[in-house]
Amino acid sequence: MPLSRVAQTVVDFATATKHMFDAGPPEHEDVAWWIGGLALPTVPDRAGDRGKRRQGGIRGRIDSGPRSGTVPVDPSSTLHCEETPMRSITTRPFGTLPDGRGIDRIDLANGDTEIGILTYGGIIASWTAPNAAGDVADVVIGFDSLDGWLADPQYFGAVVGRYANRLRGGRFPLDGRLVDVTSNQGDNQLHGGAIGFDKAVWAAESHLDGIEVGVTLRHVSADGDEGYPGTLTSTVTYTLSSAGRLQMDFTALTDAPTVVNFTNHVYWNLAGEGDILDHIAQIDAGSFLEVGAGTLPTGTLRSVDNTPFDFRQPRRIGDRIAEVDGQLALGGGYDHCYVVDGTPGLLRPCARLTADGRALEIATTQPGVQFYSGNGIRPRTGRDGQIYGPHSALCLETQHFPDAPNIPHFPSTRLDPGDTYAESTTMIVHPAPGL
């Protein structure tokens, strides 16, 4: 005789509970686990340290290895999330470089969020998410084809390295000598030089672990690449949770002393169109780096008190961007690195953005975040025929401080053989009713 629904639920509950305690709890803070409609509390991980921060290499990192301790979720079983999300990874050709190398696009889909990533530059090419009314839009700017990124990309969505932001004079001291790197912005270097990591073709390996989907990109930069010493082996892992949270884990190893500073240069527009001046921004920082000519830091940390740079409380971006202010004039608007509150190396809140019924929340282990209000976006046709220009989007680039190798009291960006560079940033776009 078939079991009643209640009896079957009890059997399923007992079986699933045994499996869960044998395997350990799911490793994601955003998921409520349900069995037969009953909420289950999570249990301590017997391994003791999985998912916790630990000190390693040259700074703290978030463990992001295989999720061997998670409970797999079969959508057809009675063990499921509150709403079993659709998860998929799709890889397809996205074009060919002039030298004949093919570029792929990897689409990560989980729940209501879908993110497209290119093997060219590690680019976040698209990010679709619903607003509070259920309307879906692409909240990052980009292009319909690879040609747009090859013609005049301005780093749209790209991984930036070896050194994000600026290096004064295209050089830095290292072990008693001056290292000359490629200058590509006047006398200075910007975002790793003429052919930085934003133009590299990354090897990709996708993974679907329990309730997460992701892809790991790998790139080897040869000794002397753009002038940097040491062969640098780098990985960027994008992992998308069922809640729509994207975690970016950056790692690097070197065989000779060098400097490293990675970021992702995604451009946000939460409305999917228009400009970002009506977006409401909040940045968890009580100080920012003063800049001089060329928007290079002077080495002085300035308080945001009584300045247009105070975003400690949510505020419309356009409210003070046009004020007469020497720092705003140098950047043509906001183009400054904020000193994120809290302890570098620990994942902590960094910034929040709201518009059109959506909210973006960012957390990071990095010491700084560059707020760029899109002042210099050059006019061009983007995705779906949209015309981009100044303030069409903004960037919140988590990173170490610009020009740190030339400013001794800034946090070090040095990487030595035997150490591991490891930094993480999380980003989530979710519906925000009333905003």
Active site residues: 265, 397
Query: Cα 357 to chain center, whole Å?
Result: 21
Task: Show the 3-state SS of the chain.
Answer: CCCCHHHHHHHHHHHHHHHHHHHCCCCCCCCCEEECCEECCCCCCCCCCCCCEEEECCEEEECCCCCCCCCCCCCCCCEEECCCCCEEEEEEEEEECCCCCEEEEEEEEECCEEEEEECECCCEEEEEEECCCCCEEECECCCCCHHHHHHCCCCCCCEECCECCEEHHHEEEECCEEEECCCCECCEEECCCCCCHHHCECEEEEEEECCEEEEEEEEEECCCHHHCCCCEEEEEEEEECCCCEEEEEEEEEECCCEECECEECCCECCCCCCCCCCCEEEECCCEEEEECHHHCEEEEEEECCCCCCCCCCCEEHHHCCCCCCHHHHHHCCCEEEEECCCCCCCCEEEEEEEECCEEEEEEECCCEEEEECCCCCCCEECHHHCEECCCCCEEEEEECCCCHHHCCCCCCCEECCCCCEEEEEEEEEEECCCC
> What is the CB neighbour count within 10 angstroms for residue 108?
24
Q: 106 and 115 in contact (C-beta within 8 Å)?
A: no
User: Shortest CA distance to 427 belongs to which of 265, 203, 278, 209?
Assistant: 265
φ/ψ region of 385 (left if φ > 0, alpha if ψ in -120 to 50, else beta) reads left
Please name the amino acid found at residue 232: L
- C-alpha to C-alpha distance for 60 and 392, rounded to whole angstroms: 35
User: Shortest CA distance to 61 belongs to which of 76, 51, 72?
Assistant: 51
